[in-house]
């Protein structure tokens, strides 16, 4: 059997590196590419009979007073455009400018506008949804493992795993926003909540086996109980996640632009969630049980105390 626990510092270190890389991209402008669900504005699609090219589309929008609009080609002579809030009739001068620059017919089949008040409500609701979900997860984990000594550790390490997954997905979207214009919007939050539920379920499966192994052999070293639990659940976890990922990948390849960002969240979150339940949350539990964090803090404190006395 592979000794996963012995290599726990490698797993924890790998997660820390990924989070730091994501944090770097989040800190550098333009940070996350946020959709109109959170910032307010108007998004509309344009269909051309004869594609004039993105430069002509940009020129038409500049003529209509929207030179700062974000334009994304959607293929087949179609474009997705995002501007500031156009109001009720703001689309009409844009349509006139596009007609003047195109050889064939031009249609704007879809226009979506989100006002500032709605965007602010969406932000508050998204934060509240994630916070409530996190609190319920911690409460459930503490209750489910109440018969295990120091049951609160199970809830906290599971929550750390969830935050780890969310941080990596956010970091990835900070990168993809630059590369493929991936946006953080309301459907992104739905994806995050789905990922939270999936990853917690996977973590509970591993933790439940740890609990059973501790109950069967109370005198066994905790690291051995965790290692045994990982071995017992590894095939099941990898099998479940891999089949799910194959389905999501197929949908990602044929689903088009509408579902792309949502499916990327699911794909990344499920992959990272499977990793964190086995190689992060369980390893943090062992480190906490063995007092690794306390020893690390003591080693850090000794040089500082030595300098203070000299």
Q: Could you say which residues of the chain have pLDDT below 70?
A: 1, 36-37, 115-119, 256-258, 292-310
- Whole-number pLDDT of residue 20: 92
Number of domain units in the chain: 2
Grouping H, G, I as helix, E, B as strand and the rest as coil, residue 220 is coil
- Whole-number pLDDT of residue 267: 92
Give the domain-ending residue among 88, 114, 140. 114
Same domain assignment for residues 198 and 271:
yes
d(CA 137, CA 139): 5
- Whole-number pLDDT of residue 216: 83
Q: Which two tokens stand for residue 233?
A: 């659940």
The pTM for the full model equals: 0.75
Same domain assignment for residues 139 and 262:
yes
CB 81 within 8 A of CB 59: no
Q: Is residue 309 part of a domain?
A: no
d(CA 123, CA 262): 17
Same domain assignment for residues 109 and 198:
no
Same domain assignment for residues 147 and 230:
yes
Q: What is the CATH number of the domain that holds 96?
A: 3.30.70.3400
- Give residue 245's domain range: 5-34+118-292
Same domain assignment for residues 83 and 157:
no
- Whole-number pLDDT of residue 117: 67
- Whole-number pLDDT of residue 213: 86
- Whole-number pLDDT of residue 299: 67
């Amino acid at each position: 059997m592979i000794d996963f626990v012995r290599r726990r510092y490698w797993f924890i270190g790998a997660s820390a590196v990924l989070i730091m890389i994501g944090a770097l991209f989040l800190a550098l402008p333009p940070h996350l590419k946020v959709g109109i669900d959170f910032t307010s504005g108007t998004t509309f699609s344009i269909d051309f009979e004869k594609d004039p090219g993105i430069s002509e589309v940009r020129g038409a929008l500049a003529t209509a007073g929207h030179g700062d609009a974000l334009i994304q080609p959607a293929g087949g002579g179609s474009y997705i455009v995002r501007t500031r809030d156009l109001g009720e009739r703001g689309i009409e001068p844009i349509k006139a400018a596009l007609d003047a620059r195109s050889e064939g017919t031009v249609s704007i089949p879809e226009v979506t506008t989100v006002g500032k008040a709605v965007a602010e409500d969406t932000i508050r609701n998204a934060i509240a949804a994630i916070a409530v979900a996190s609190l319920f997860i911690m409460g459930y984990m503490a209750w489910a493992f109440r018969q295990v000594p120091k049951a609160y550790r199970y809830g906290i390490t599971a929550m750390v795993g969830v935050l780890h997954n969310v941080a990596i997905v956010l970091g990835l979207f900070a990168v993809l926003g630059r590369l493929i214009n991936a946006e953080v919007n309301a459907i992104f939050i739905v994806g995050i909540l789905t990922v939270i539920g999936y990853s917690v379920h996977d973590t509970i499966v591993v933790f439940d086996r740890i609990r059973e192994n501790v109950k069967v052999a109370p005198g066994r070293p905790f690291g051995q109980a965790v290692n045994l639990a990982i071995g017992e659940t590894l095939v099941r976890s990898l099998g479940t996640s891999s089949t799910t990922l194959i389905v999501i990948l197929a949908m990602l390849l044929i689903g088009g632009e509408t579902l792309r960002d949502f499916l990327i969240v699911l794909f990344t979150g499920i992959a990272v969630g499977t990793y964190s339940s086995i190689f992060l949350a369980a390893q943090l539990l062992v480190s906490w049980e063995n007092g690794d964090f306390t020893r690390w803090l003591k080693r850090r404190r000794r040089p500082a105390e030595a300098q203070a006395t000299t």
